[in-house]
Structure 1
Amino acid sequence: MEDIKRQLTHSSKATRQDRYGKLIAFLCTFLIGLLVASILYLVASRGLATFFKNHVSVWDFLTKQNWNPGQVDKNGAALVGALPMIVGSFSVTVLSAVLATPFAIAMALFMTEIAPRRGTKFLQPVIELLVGIPSVVYGFVGLTIVVPVVRALVGGTGFGILSGTLVLFVMVLPTITSMYVDSLRAVPRFYREASLALGATRWQTTYKVVLRASIPGLLTAIIFGMARAFGEALAVQMVIGNASLLPHNLISPASTLTSVLTTGMGNTVMGTLPNNALWSLALILLLMSLCFNLIIRYIGKKGRMAK
């Protein structure tokens, strides 16, 4: 009787395992949150030091075009105008997303609507291969193939926004495609069946029903692709020219936030204005990443509400 009472009043092995599992999950969540908060604090404190410690105007930092943190102008103001890098980053990001989206839509439709089995069997390994290729390989291919082709076709040195866009196009294409494939597969089958039952052709069903129902997923895929393109460093750095000048056309050498960070971070002293200015560029990158994530969450929420 005592054994039965003890068994009923004490926690079972399954209960103890459940508690241990919850404790481990809580600790992991806490550590991840602490890590994210630490990164945010580090980047924000270093980045804001440019404005509070070195007394650089935020407006001048975002709108001026001269970037040479180690020098000052005739008025004694530091030359930390980040506008060329901001324009360069947004240019290659937007252009690569615009260029990759039609190809991603066509590939995703082929895999899911036109020839699902053969399309998936052929294109899925290709997409996975493109995702797994390191950035330096993309950059090397762009440096040896894309840059000379651009130089031969449109002139100039070959380095610039156009070369960076073409390299990023190949890099973001598998991301947008794979995410949009999942979105197309998530469209309920009865949407297609109802459209076909009403007399619509296969193309009309695809264009007017499936595509429109998957628009939130497509927008999410595009934003994800833009987020990757905006944060890409090495591949873009190898083909864009790394000139801290405001680009006037697609073939003029330019620079991005990430390319300036990777080339300059090892050449500055911690706590100085040049180093703080680089941290300010990193803060802009972080804020843009947060904006991309907020946009994705907003689009996803609207898509769920529409369903």
Structure 2
Amino acid sequence: MSKKILYFLTPSDNISPFDVTIAADAGFDLVVPFTKLEPKQVAGMVQDAIFCRPPNRFNDTGIFIGGRDVHLATDMFQNAKGAMVGPFKVGVFADPNGAYTTSASIVALTEQVLREKTTQGLSGRKVSVFGSGPVGLCTAILAAKQGAKVKLCQLVADDDSRSALRFCERYETEVEWVSAQTNDEKNQVIQDTEVVISAVRAGVRILESSLSHAKKLVLVADTNAVPPSGVAGVGLNDLGAEVEYSGTRFLSIGPMAIGNLKYKTQFGLYEQIQTGAKAALIDFPDAYAFALSVLEKQAAAKEKLI
């Protein structure tokens, strides 16, 4: 009996135990790592994988693209897609540093909570994303694609605006780059913000006293599970909780709620490679669509119980 194989391609020195464990739990028999790869090497490796099995056997072989660089991951993903030949195909799933499934989960939950609590989703909302790393960048693009007016907030001088905006252009999305390096700049950014998304590194609080200036704030989503929270007042398990802090009231989505959906999304996408009716090609907009489908199924299941 043939094995279900996932080839793990990364430009990094090693692969993530987190990704490997979920892949194994989702049904892959073998997870084979290839590290320190360049994008130009991907097409050849994918063609090695597609031609060693009969045509239309795409459910038995998958390519996972990891690493920490979303720019390299996009290049690798495009090269993998271009390597398919007729009926010789495999599933391809990119999720560098977990950024794609995490950002998908953040935006899906934000959309859900806003609609449930206020009847208006992200469309037309003023959104400020703090943290311009892989998760923040992908979150900003997904929010903009839902019709939000998005600011991507620079927190340190080393943040690269050119690189970030070039990535937004690749996905045909307009995002405004603003500085939020000082308290005064944060106060200015947040005064007309309706939705704050914190995607900063673990254990760093970026908004506390500035919340007193956030008179239009409706919702905060925070990815930081390591104390302190990225935004004061956000609880680990919050999912639409009502919070009052520094004279400002807002709805809260905490990191455990985001992490729970992120896990289900990644697990489900691994399964999709093995069960889909066609070869899966999964970028972060596709991960967002899947995260939404998870939430829709959960809502339907609740309706049946009522």
Interval containing the TM-score (normalised by the shorter chain): under 0.3
Return the TM-score normalized by structure 1: 0.23
In our comparison, the structure showing a higher alpha carbon Rg is 1
Higher strand share: 2
Higher relative contact order (CA 8 A, sep 6+): 1
Return the TM-score normalized by structure 2: 0.23
Higher helix share: 1
